[in-house]
Amino acid sequence: MQNTNSSDYFGIVVKTARQKKRITQVQLAESLSISPRYLKAIENSGQKPSYELLVRIIEELDISANTLIHPEQKDESSAEFVSL
């Protein structure tokens, strides 16, 4: 995972997990009670969510918090995202 900063990585993980669950940005945004524009900024522009929203994203997408918080650590739950 070279030349990818933590903001980019965070967005990539969120987007990849959302796509893996086969849900659109609009669907995920609605379930998180945020605008699709804000979700797009999180996925593509390095926007960081609040702690409360971070927790809801983790729960909604069923991903490991460690995957988002410590991208440099490669555990079983983050293995599918590390190759991005």
The whole-angstrom distance between residue 51's C-alpha and the CA centroid of its chain comes to 13
Tell me how far CA of residue 52 lies from CA of 8, 32, 61, 79, in angstroms: 20, 10, 14, 25
Instruction: Please name each of the domains of the chain with its CATH number.
Output: 6-82 (1.10.260.40)
Which pLDDT value is given to residue 68?
77
Q: Is the pLDDT of residue 2 over 50?
A: no
Q: Beta strands of the chain (E only): which ranges? A: none
Confidence of residue 83 (pLDDT cuts 50, 70, 90): very low
Which pLDDT value is given to residue 78?
45
pLDDT digits (tens, 9 = 90+) for 27-72: 999 999 999 999 999 999 989 999 999 999 999 999 988 877 776 6
